[in-house]
Amino acid sequence: MVERVTSLMNEPVKIRNIGIVAHIDHGKTTLSDNLLAGAGMISKELAGRQLFMDSDEEEQQRGITIDASNVSMVHTFDNEDYLINLIDTPGHVDFGGDVTRAMRAVDGAVVVVDAVEGTMPQTETVLRQALREHVRPVLFVNKVDRLINELQVDSQEMQVRLGKVIDHVNKLIKNMNPEKYKAGWRVDAAAGTVAFGSALYNWAISVPMMKKTGVSFNDVYEFCKAGDMKSLAEKCPLHEAVLDMVIHFLPNPLEAQKDRVKVIWHGDEDSEIGTSMTHANADGDLAFMVTDISVDPHAGEVATGRLFSGSFSRGMEVFTSGTAKKSRVQQVSIFMGPERLEVDKIPAGNIAAVTGLKEAIVGSTVTTLDGMAPFESIRHVSEPVVTVAVEAKHTKDLPKLIEVLRQVAKEDPTLQITLDEETGEHLMAGMGELHLEVIAHRIERDKNVEITTSKPIVVYRETIKKKIEPMEGKSPNRHNRFYIYVEPLDLEIVNAIKSGDIHMNLPELERRQKLIDLGMEKEEAKGIVGIFNSNIFIDMTKGIQYLNETMELILDGFEEVMRAGPLTREPVANVKCVLVDAKLHEDAIHRGPAQVIPASRQAIQAGMLTADDTLLEPYQKVFVQVPQLLMGGATKELQGRRGIILNMSTEGDLAIIEARVPVAEMFGFAGEIRSATEGRAMWSTEFGGFDTVPTSIQNEIVGQIRERKGLKKELPKASDFLSM
């Protein structure tokens, strides 16, 4: 196998880099098992039960995928061998960050949908992540046998239901990326971009496969009815149907990089490195994007990612974006599930695993070209909404704990680690309760540090409601003054910043035009000097001496407030700060960091408190499927948690409820919903954005947060921050 893989690596036309994406429990890992069995890497008898890609013991115990895992295999199509680099991704909403990162490394995605449940919230999210990265989708409708044997539908009804699933996926593609939809990215059973089957029983069928084997839809129906899955699997093996579809319809690196490089790299396309990347040139300068970092107990940190240009070989010296010194590559290898196999050289167009890049983090650009424009950073869909405080059980482990937390944050960029200097606690913020539970378990198991974690706490955001007059911030020595006003930032601009359309690395003219298109005045758009999270800082002053030299310090003050707002020391969101005037001392000694930072910080803090500083709390969208008779219990449970019911529909005897519930009210939901519905409710959640905390409970929540953080009980006033 290894020899076949290494010989095919040098022929980009015969490579397919694919990811398998879907909602939780729709059968991604079972499907990956079958593809591996078809390629002869694991035994056919165990496929579907072995879950080869879930190599971590926690994944096996919980029965879910937690980490994206890579494998390379060979498939023969029309008497030609092809190399398939596959990434199996998690479906649980708490591990969505792994999907976003995997999408950067691949060119095509197999979207798996359960024939009975149809497209679910997470299917929508992963499809959006794929289309944003210009990754082409094909569809695999899984668990078709359940339609026939559990729901007892006839052959006509079966085809109608499958048609509905395809229509819904196409509707999603059309809404998310109309250009690509028109360019032929819609999935179409007749064309062959859809396959149907059962990953558990190893069979699959598609229109090209029917022509090849002579097995029709009615035959499939008869086999399933008779419970004879074995003959069906022999006639229509799953790996053949799915991998033929992948090779035929998903792009090879040469085709894909022409389109994708424009989306993920904002350098000069006509430059030497630009051309080398669009043509996946193995002899060009090296351009490698790190999408994952894992730790091998023997080899240290392993950086996995996509090689867009050049070739990796042992011993070469490379630059990592954001660091000045060079690193030396120690080993170059490919992944075979949990194992890494060393090779001499990996050319462009492949997914590579490299050791020796100590400085690299997820999202780093690794290159042999000094000063290459880095790839665009990876944007995650949801934000950390739940925090726990982590403490070492034994004092002797304290230094080790700090090191371990750094390491964990490097391996999983959706995790935020902060040290609360006032309480001395280490805070770990993640996507949800399960995410934090898994990380805490791994710290104890893999890093051998015993820890205690607090109860989960919700992460709020601070924002403002109105525009105010400029506030004066004075430096402690009274020699420098800044006049700054704050106002709420337009939501369209906030969304553009979050989706990565607008950032400080964009060429200034392009950024200005985008902001003007979103309704910002030209002068303001011209004056943007800083963007931090979803907040911006604008300089509207004219011709003030020494301002350029001090701007970096003013921005430091701005960022300090945006990290911890004046009301509760929580992060700030959606605020526009505008500097309208400044008076600066002519002597540089009198306008150092100790003078300028407090002055700009205090003006913004006082401004926010005057502009009705309020809290935003994170929400989750909750989807519940429950028998109609027990619907009352479920709605009562949601409404009792300050939930808003958005939609209710019925399908057969099932009621489907869609609601928005504050994350703060979701703790312990799993147990309560079970007892309210006799254990018959199925539910899933996805990140639902932030919304204002109701006025009636705001002061109480602010009080609780201030108490927890050891701040004064009285609420702060603007005058507390202004020096007289």
Q: What CATH code is assigned to 615-693?
A: 3.30.70.240
Category of 519 on φ-ψ map: left (φ > 0), alpha (ψ -120 to 50) or beta: left
Q: Distance between alpha carbon 442 and the CA centroid of its chain, in Å?
A: 20
> Residue 86 pairs with which residues in a beta bridge?
18, 71
- Per the CB < 8 A criterion, the answer to whether 81 and 4 are in contact is yes
Residue 380 marked as a ligand binder: no
Is residue 382 within 8 Å of residue 416, measured between CB atoms? no
What are the residue boundaries of the structural domains of the chain, listed by start?
Answer: 1-251, 256-367, 386-459, 463-596, 615-693
Residue 24 is assigned to a ligand binding site: yes
Dist CA 603 CA 472 (whole Å) = 6
pLDDT at residue 49 above 60? no
Structure confidence at residue 697 (pLDDT):
92
Query: Is 258 known to sit in a ligand binding site?
Result: no
The answer to whether residue 339 scores a pLDDT higher than 90 is: no
Residue 65 marked as a ligand binder: no
Q: 56: pLDDT confidence band, cut at 50, 70 and 90?
A: low
Task: Note the pLDDT of residue 476.
Answer: 92
The mean predicted confidence, pLDDT, of the chain is 87
Please state, in angstroms and rounded to a whole number, the distance separating the CA atoms of residues 387 and 409: 14
Check whether 230 is labelled as a binding-site residue: no
Annotated binding residue 54: no
Q: Is 13 annotated as a binding residue?
A: no
Task: For the domain covering 463-596, report its CATH number.
Answer: 3.30.230.10
Measured in degrees and rounded to the nearest 5, phi and psi for residue 605 equal -60, -45
Name, in order, each residue with C-beta under 8 angstroms of 510's C-beta and a sequence gap of 6 or more.
none
Q: How far is CA 15 from each of CA 31, 252, 449, 510, rounded to the nearest angstrom? A: 20, 6, 42, 35
CATH number of 256-367: 2.40.30.10
pLDDT for 207-258, tens place per residue?
998 888 888 888 888 888 888 888 888 888 888 899 999 999 999 999 999 9
Q: For residue 366, say whether it is annotated as part of any ligand binding site.
A: no
692-724 per-position pLDDT tens digit: 999 999 999 999 999 888 888 888 988 888 865
Number of H helices, E strands in the chain: 24, 32
Rounded mean pLDDT, 309-323: 89
Is 193 a known ligand-binding residue? no
User: Can you list the alpha helix ranges (DSSP code H) found in 9-133?
Assistant: 28-38, 57-62, 96-105, 121-132
Considering the domain delimited by 1-251, tell me its CATH architecture.
Answer: 3-Layer(aba) Sandwich (3.40)
DSSP structural state of residue 399: H
**368 annotated as belonging to a binding site for a ligand:** no
Per residue in 667-692, pLDDT (tens digit) is 888 888 888 888 888 787 778 889 99
What are the CA-CA distances from residue 304 to residues 11, 268, 353, 454 (Å)?
A: 20, 26, 4, 33
- Fold adopted by 386-459: Alpha-Beta Plaits (3.30.70)
The model's confidence at residue 64, banded by pLDDT at 50, 70 and 90, is low
Which of 412, 357, 408 lies closest to 101, judged by CA? 412
Structural contact between residues 224 and 149, judged by C-beta atoms closer than 8 angstroms? yes
Question: Is 134 assigned to a binding site?
Answer: no
Could you tell me how far CA 175 lies from the centroid of its own chain? 20
How does pLDDT run across 151-169, given as a tens digit for each residue? 788 888 888 889 999 999 9
Give the pLDDT confidence score for residue 40 in this predicted structure.
64
- The predicted pLDDT at position 651 comes to 78
b/e code 414-431 from CB counts within 10 Å (16+ = b): bbbbeeeeeeebbbbbbb
Nearest alpha-carbon partner for 652 in 114, 161, 120: 161
Report the predicted TM-score, pTM, of the whole model to 2 decimal places: 0.79
Q: What is the DSSP letter of 718?
A: G
How many of the other CB atoms lie within 10 Å of CB of 393?
Answer: 12
The whole-number pLDDT of residue 60 equals: 61
Q: Could you give phi then psi for residue 194, rounded to 5 degrees?
A: -130, 135
Q: Is 23 annotated as a binding residue?
A: yes
The pLDDT score that the predictor gives to residue 536 is 95
**256-367 and 615-693 have identical folds:** no
- Quote the pLDDT of residue 45: 56
The answer to whether the annotation marks 79 as part of a ligand binding site is: no
The answer to whether 580 is annotated as binding is no
Q: Is 76 assigned to a binding site?
A: no
pLDDT higher than 80, residue 516: yes
> What was the pLDDT predicted at 691?
93
Q: Is 17 annotated as a binding residue?
A: no
Average pLDDT over residues 506-521: 90
